[in-house]
Amino acid sequence: MKLHLSNTAGLNMFTAYGDDYVAVNHEKHEKNLILLPESIIHEWSTATVQTLTEADMQKLLELGTEIVLLGTGQRLRFPSGALLRPFAPAGIGLEVMDLRAACRTYNILAAEGRKVAAALLFD
Protein backbone atom coordinates (compact mmCIF):
# COMPACT_ATOMS: atom_id res chain seq x y z
CA MET A 1 0.00 0.00 0.00
CA LYS A 2 1.25 3.47 -0.84
CA LEU A 3 0.79 6.25 1.67
CA HIS A 4 0.25 9.89 0.72
CA LEU A 5 1.16 12.64 3.15
CA SER A 6 1.39 16.39 3.21
CA ASN A 7 3.16 18.85 5.49
CA THR A 8 6.03 16.46 6.16
CA ALA A 9 8.93 18.09 4.30
CA GLY A 10 12.27 17.05 5.71
CA LEU A 11 10.89 14.24 7.88
CA ASN A 12 11.48 10.53 7.52
CA MET A 13 8.11 9.07 6.64
CA PHE A 14 6.80 5.69 5.57
CA THR A 15 5.79 5.96 1.93
CA ALA A 16 4.75 2.34 1.37
CA TYR A 17 4.63 -1.05 3.05
CA GLY A 18 3.92 -4.66 2.22
CA ASP A 19 4.09 -8.11 3.77
CA ASP A 20 7.90 -8.15 3.90
CA TYR A 21 9.07 -4.55 3.54
CA VAL A 22 8.54 -0.89 4.33
CA ALA A 23 9.61 2.09 2.26
CA VAL A 24 10.98 5.16 4.00
CA ASN A 25 11.07 8.21 1.77
CA HIS A 26 10.64 5.78 -1.16
CA GLU A 27 13.65 3.63 -0.13
CA LYS A 28 12.81 -0.03 0.53
CA HIS A 29 13.82 -1.73 3.81
CA GLU A 30 13.38 -5.42 4.63
CA LYS A 31 15.13 -5.76 8.00
CA ASN A 32 14.38 -4.59 11.52
CA LEU A 33 14.79 -0.85 11.93
CA ILE A 34 13.95 2.12 14.07
CA LEU A 35 12.54 5.16 12.30
CA LEU A 36 12.66 8.61 13.86
CA PRO A 37 11.59 11.81 12.12
CA GLU A 38 15.26 12.86 11.77
CA SER A 39 17.09 9.53 11.47
CA ILE A 40 16.97 5.81 10.73
CA ILE A 41 18.67 3.19 12.85
CA HIS A 42 19.21 0.23 10.56
CA GLU A 43 19.05 -3.29 11.94
CA TRP A 44 18.69 -2.16 15.57
CA SER A 45 18.14 -5.77 16.50
CA THR A 46 17.99 -9.12 14.77
CA ALA A 47 15.36 -10.29 17.25
CA THR A 48 11.82 -11.45 16.71
CA VAL A 49 9.07 -10.67 19.22
CA GLN A 50 9.84 -13.95 20.99
CA THR A 51 13.59 -13.28 21.21
CA LEU A 52 13.64 -9.59 22.18
CA THR A 53 16.03 -8.88 25.04
CA GLU A 54 16.35 -6.21 27.70
CA ALA A 55 19.25 -4.76 25.68
CA ASP A 56 16.99 -4.40 22.61
CA MET A 57 14.39 -2.59 24.67
CA GLN A 58 17.02 -0.44 26.40
CA LYS A 59 17.92 0.99 22.98
CA LEU A 60 14.31 2.10 22.62
CA LEU A 61 14.30 3.71 26.06
CA GLU A 62 17.38 5.77 25.13
CA LEU A 63 15.95 7.32 21.95
CA GLY A 64 14.70 10.50 23.64
CA THR A 65 11.14 10.08 22.36
CA GLU A 66 7.81 10.50 24.09
CA ILE A 67 6.29 7.46 22.36
CA VAL A 68 7.61 4.26 20.81
CA LEU A 69 5.52 2.24 18.37
CA LEU A 70 6.65 -1.38 18.36
CA GLY A 71 5.62 -3.01 15.09
CA THR A 72 5.59 -6.78 15.54
CA GLY A 73 5.41 -7.97 11.94
CA GLN A 74 2.34 -9.14 10.06
CA ARG A 75 0.48 -10.00 13.28
CA LEU A 76 0.07 -8.25 16.61
CA ARG A 77 2.17 -10.10 19.18
CA PHE A 78 3.19 -8.86 22.61
CA PRO A 79 6.67 -9.22 24.10
CA SER A 80 6.89 -10.36 27.70
CA GLY A 81 5.56 -7.94 30.29
CA ALA A 82 8.99 -7.65 31.90
CA LEU A 83 10.33 -6.07 28.70
CA LEU A 84 7.47 -3.55 28.55
CA ARG A 85 7.50 -2.55 32.22
CA PRO A 86 10.38 0.02 32.19
CA PHE A 87 8.65 2.38 29.75
CA ALA A 88 5.93 3.79 32.04
CA PRO A 89 8.29 4.86 34.86
CA ALA A 90 10.51 6.49 32.22
CA GLY A 91 7.55 8.55 30.99
CA ILE A 92 7.64 6.93 27.53
CA GLY A 93 4.49 5.60 25.94
CA LEU A 94 4.93 2.20 24.32
CA GLU A 95 2.31 0.97 21.89
CA VAL A 96 2.53 -2.53 20.46
CA MET A 97 0.83 -3.09 17.09
CA ASP A 98 1.29 -4.92 13.84
CA LEU A 99 3.81 -3.46 11.40
CA ARG A 100 1.25 -1.84 9.10
CA ALA A 101 -0.55 -0.09 11.94
CA ALA A 102 2.79 1.10 13.33
CA CYS A 103 3.64 2.68 9.95
CA ARG A 104 0.31 4.50 9.68
CA THR A 105 0.36 5.69 13.29
CA TYR A 106 3.98 6.85 13.05
CA ASN A 107 3.18 8.99 9.99
CA ILE A 108 0.30 10.69 11.76
CA LEU A 109 2.30 11.41 14.92
CA ALA A 110 5.42 12.55 13.05
CA ALA A 111 3.32 14.89 10.88
CA GLU A 112 1.94 16.40 14.11
CA GLY A 113 5.50 17.13 15.27
CA ARG A 114 5.49 14.51 18.03
CA LYS A 115 8.70 12.91 19.32
CA VAL A 116 7.92 9.43 18.03
CA ALA A 117 9.89 6.34 17.02
CA ALA A 118 8.71 3.29 15.12
CA ALA A 119 10.69 0.16 16.03
CA LEU A 120 9.84 -2.48 13.44
CA LEU A 121 10.37 -6.21 13.64
CA PHE A 122 9.96 -8.18 10.44
CA ASP A 123 8.70 -11.76 10.47
CATH code, domain with 79: 3.40.1230.10
In a domain, 66, yes or no: yes
Average pLDDT over residues 47-70: 96
Q: What's the pLDDT at 114?
A: 96
Band the pLDDT of 113: cuts 50, 70, 90. very high
In a domain, 62, yes or no: yes
Question: Residue 102: is its pLDDT beyond 90?
Answer: yes
In a domain, 19, yes or no: yes
Q: How many folded domains does the chain comprise? A: 1
In a domain, 90, yes or no: yes
Band the pLDDT of 1: cuts 50, 70, 90. low
Mean pLDDT across the chain: 93
First to last CA, the chain: 18
Range of the domain at 85: 14-120
Question: Residue 33: is its pLDDT beyond 90?
Answer: yes
In a domain, 8, yes or no: no
In a domain, 94, yes or no: yes
Q: Cα separations (Å) of 16 from 26, 47, 57, 72? A: 7, 23, 26, 17
In a domain, 38, yes or no: yes
Average pLDDT over residues 54-79: 96
In a domain, 107, yes or no: yes
Model pTM above 0.85? yes
